[in-house]
């Protein structure tokens, strides 16, 4: 029997690659925080670092599920962009703040959080538009009129 690969479009594949890279990096950073930084950081600094890891993993997993959702690549690209930028700004600033103690990284964190929020909003809009599109296609096929 021949091995067959599931065909993925380039856009879906890019979501999966970026999501997998961010998830893998979150695991590495989580292990680094738990083992390498535990004796170097205060409990508050370590907690800040771990928050960055958690949010990075949440959004990496969301990117991994994106190809399975029925949204257009336009909305998917918006979501992916916001999640990646949000991860870099939110998680990245928390990593830098916790390790360096440089306070000016702090104001960057909420900007990353806003990218996360906007990304989730884009996901909701994309899903609602996809649902509307499916309903319209179904009503046209069955001969029903749109009300």
Q: How confident is the model at residue 5, as a pLDDT?
A: 52
The answer to whether residue 64 is domain-embedded is yes
pLDDT over 70, % of the chain: 85
The answer to whether residue 147 is domain-embedded is no
The answer to whether residue 144 is domain-embedded is no
Q: How confident is the model at residue 137, as a pLDDT?
A: 65
**Can you give the pTM of this predicted structure?**
0.85
The answer to whether residue 38 is domain-embedded is yes
Q: How confident is the model at residue 143, as a pLDDT?
A: 61
The answer to whether residue 104 is domain-embedded is yes
pLDDT at 147 exceeding the cut of 50: no
Under the banding of pLDDT at 50, 70 and 90, the label for residue 130 is: confident
Contact status, residue 112 vs residue 90, Cβ threshold 8 Å = yes
The answer to whether residue 129 is domain-embedded is yes
Q: What is the tally of structural domains in the chain? A: 1
For range 16-44, the mean pLDDT: 96
Q: How confident is the model at residue 105, as a pLDDT?
A: 95
pLDDT at 102 exceeding the cut of 90: yes
Domain ranges, residue 21: 12-139
- Residues near 109 by beta carbon (within 8 Å), at least 6 away in sequence: 89, 90, 93, 94, 97
The answer to whether residue 7 is domain-embedded is no
Q: What is the mean pLDDT of the chain?
A: 90
The answer to whether residue 145 is domain-embedded is no
- Residues near 97 by beta carbon (within 8 Å), at least 6 away in sequence: 48, 103, 105, 106, 109
């Amino acid at each position: 029997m021949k091995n067959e690969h599931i065909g993925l479009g380039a856009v879906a594949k890019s979501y999966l690659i970026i999501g997998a890279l961010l998830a893998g990096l979150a695991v590495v950073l989580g292990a680094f925080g738990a083992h390498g930084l535990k004796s170097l950081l205060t409990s508050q600094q370590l907690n800040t670092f771990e928050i960055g890891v958690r949010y990075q993993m949440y959004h990496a997993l969301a990117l991994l599920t994106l190809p399975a959702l029925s949204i257009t690549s336009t909305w998917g690209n918006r979501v992916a962009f916001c999640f990646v930028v949000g991860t870099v700004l939110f998680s990245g600033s928390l990593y830098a703040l916790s390790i360096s103690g440089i306070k000016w990284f702090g104001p960057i964190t909420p900007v990353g959080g806003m990218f996360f929020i906007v990304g989730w909003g884009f996901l909701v809009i994309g899903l609602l538009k996809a649902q509307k599109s499916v309903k319209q296609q179904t009503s046209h096929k069955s001969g029903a009129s749109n009300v």
